[in-house]
Amino acid sequence: MPIPLSKEFRKIARDRTSGAAQVALQAVTAVEAWIARHPDPDDAQLEDLVMRLLRLQPSMAPLLRLANEVALAADTGRPGTALERTVKVFRKQLEGAQRRIAKLFRAELDGEDRWPIAIFSYSSTVVAAVTGARRRISSTLTSECRPGMEGLVSVARLSKAGLKIKLATDIGMLSQLQGTRAVLVGADAVLSHAFVNKIGTRMLYLRAREAGCPVWVLADSSKLLPEGIAAPFWRPSDGPASELWPRPTQRVQVLNPMFEHTELGDDIRVLTENGWLESGQVREVVEEIRISPRLKRLAE
């Protein structure tokens, strides 16, 4: 039987425009409100909270990681105190990660020449990094990112910050990558072998590889998702058919997947708040993440 969601959690479950980092902060706020209502939670209440988080938006790794942290707190002898401390640390990490990633990204754009770059879809982490490095960037190529048009959110924020933008259609962008020095994307999840992002990312990566352009994934460490959490709980999301065709005719099946996997090739680097990771290093970091035995039991 589905667990009924509180007002805070319902709002998060309906959010289809915010990036994963923003959604994660909303979830932390919701958990903080839950803690205020349950200062001394029992085991059943904690397990209910874990299940709520797992089912909110199961395509977003930070929500699954937050569920794991809540479960780890529940496994302790003093779960109420442990949960409060855990959520405080999780918030601090999320709020500080963007600034740290932006600083590391800016340092990477070395040399006297300004960089032409490309970005895809909307990621608050990517937008913050590009904005912070705007004096070292000559132009930013991006696309509308149909059907949700998230790319226009990036365009609005970057142009307001003073960056020169080149806006193309999603397909048209693929023919404009020549001369671009780096393609930047965010991620909703980073697995040991691949990362998950907006549909169209993989095609952009393959075209960038043909053009000899490196792809950089900017994602805070809450996006790192071990197989023990991803396999039982991560689920891809499909957008509503009405986004493509409000009233399709008979015999038409509307396909509107929102996310896809892109393999972590040797030409992909991942930047977290803790530094740069080559594709081979990602697996090592992901496999070190501790998973609650409670989550393992719930997965059975």
Residue 134 DSSP one-character state: G
Question: Of the given ranges (6-10, 91-95, 219-223), which has the lowest mean pLDDT?
Answer: 6-10
**What local confidence, expressed as pLDDT, does residue 5 receive?**
55
Per the listing, tokens 């991006």 go with 142
Cα 48 to Cα 95: distance, rounded to the nearest angstrom: 26
The crossing angle, in degrees rounded to 10, of helices 124-132 and 150-160 is: 20
Position 111 pLDDT exceeds 90: no
> Which tokens hold the place of 251?
């015999």
Residues 154-169: what's their mean pLDDT? 98
* 171-217 tens-digit pLDDT: 999 999 999 999 999 999 999 999 999 999 999 999 999 999 999 99
**What local confidence, expressed as pLDDT, does residue 4 receive?**
52
Residues of the chain with CATH 3.40.50.10470: 99-287
Cα 100 to Cα 67: distance, rounded to the nearest angstrom: 24
Q: What topology does CATH give the domain 7-98+290-299?
A: Four Helix Bundle (Hemerythrin (Met), subunit A) (1.20.120)
Position 1 pLDDT exceeds 60: no
Strands of the 182-185 sheet, one edge to the other: 165-168, 137-143, 115-119, 182-185, 215-218, 268-272, 275-278
Residue 205 DSSP one-character state: H
**What local confidence, expressed as pLDDT, does residue 251 receive?**
97
Residues of the chain with CATH 1.20.120.420: 7-98+290-299
Strands 182-185 vs 215-218: parallel, antiparallel or unpaired:
parallel
How large is the C-alpha radius of gyration of the chain?
A: 20
Per the listing, tokens 């070292």 go with 136
* Superfamily classification of domain 99-287: Translation initiation factor eif-2b; domain 2 (3.40.50.10470)
Q: 147: cis peptide before it, omega within 30°?
A: yes
